[in-house]
Amino acid sequence: MALSFRTARRMWMGMVALLSLACISLALVLWAHGYSKSNNFGALIAIPSFACAGAIWTILKKKFCSSQMICIEATWVFALLPFQICKWEHRLLLGLFTLESDGARHSRFSAVYQALLALVWTNAALIFVYAAGISFLALLTQLSYDPDIWSRDIDSSPCPFPFPTLIVYALPFTAKHFHMIPVEFQDPQHAPSASEYCIPGCSCQTKPPESSDIPTPGGLFNIQNSTSYVGSTRSIIPIRVPTAKENATHITLNLRI
């Protein structure tokens, strides 16, 4: 079973949240042991906290609001990215200077500091890939068929980014691998009946039996009176408004005559 875009996105943001929590924990360890000579050391805790809160909100927002537009998702991630990268370059130089100034503490907390740096850059890379990926897919979708993609719900179903359509648009030579599959009867239970009848009024000899349940053309106009009780039963098939992708999709039907 293929992994859905919504599930993959939540798993990605879950990794961002976990790495942010790890960064906060290691930063607190260094803070408690005196690595806070600079007034900017609080950025080591504040910015990962914002990243963790944003990732958790992205995962759980369906429980609190109906939708989140793609433009809002891309905006807050890109707004966080410069702080996520630039502050760590400054912290790297300051941290190396602080560690090298005290050889005893350097030997004790060198592993903690190096682990913090690795987690920091890994988290920044995940955020960058997520922001760039969302923006690239949205731009490609806007150019291919849906100009209003930025106002779509990022968690909508079906996915607002139809990957087969985007791949064919970006790489036209792959179109042969994404051809439409004709709709045919494959299940014997749904195969057409072997008994075929002509409609009433035809001059041929094949006619439905008197007890047949096949409705006549005139009976189709009276179906509301004869089956008025059906309105009280809910349909098991949900009805929704088709998306822009579905409106642009053609379905091939093979009709048996």
Domain around 119 = 5-151
The model's pLDDT over 110-159, given as tens digits with 9 standing for 90+, comes to 787 788 888 888 888 899 999 999 999 999 998 887 888 898 888 887 88
Residue 93 in any domain: the answer is yes
Residue 142 in any domain: the answer is yes
Closest among 154, 110, 123 to 13, alpha carbons compared: 123
Pairwise CA distance, residues 123 & 88, whole Å: 11
Q: Which of 4-13, 21-30, 66-75, 176-185 has the lowest mean pLDDT?
A: 176-185
The model's pLDDT over 74-111, given as tens digits with 9 standing for 90+, comes to 888 888 877 766 655 555 544 544 444 454 555 667 78
Residue 122 in any domain: the answer is yes
C-alpha triplet 243, 244, 246: angle, nearest 5°: 65
Residue 205 is predicted with a pLDDT of 64
Give the dihedral of Cα atoms 57, 63, 67, 71; nearest 10 deg.
Answer: 0
Residue 131 in any domain: the answer is yes
Mean pLDDT to the nearest integer, 175-194 = 48
Q: Per DSSP, which regions of 160-212 are E strands?
A: none
Residue 35 in any domain: the answer is yes
Percent of the chain with pLDDT over 70: 55
Residue 43 in any domain: the answer is yes
CB of 60 closer than 8 Å to CB of 32: no
How many domains does the chain divide into? 1
Tokens of 21: 């929590």
Mean pLDDT to the nearest integer, 243-250 = 67
Pairwise CA distance, residues 109 & 113, whole Å: 6
Residue 180 is predicted with a pLDDT of 45
Residue 185 in any domain: the answer is no
Residue 82 in any domain: the answer is yes
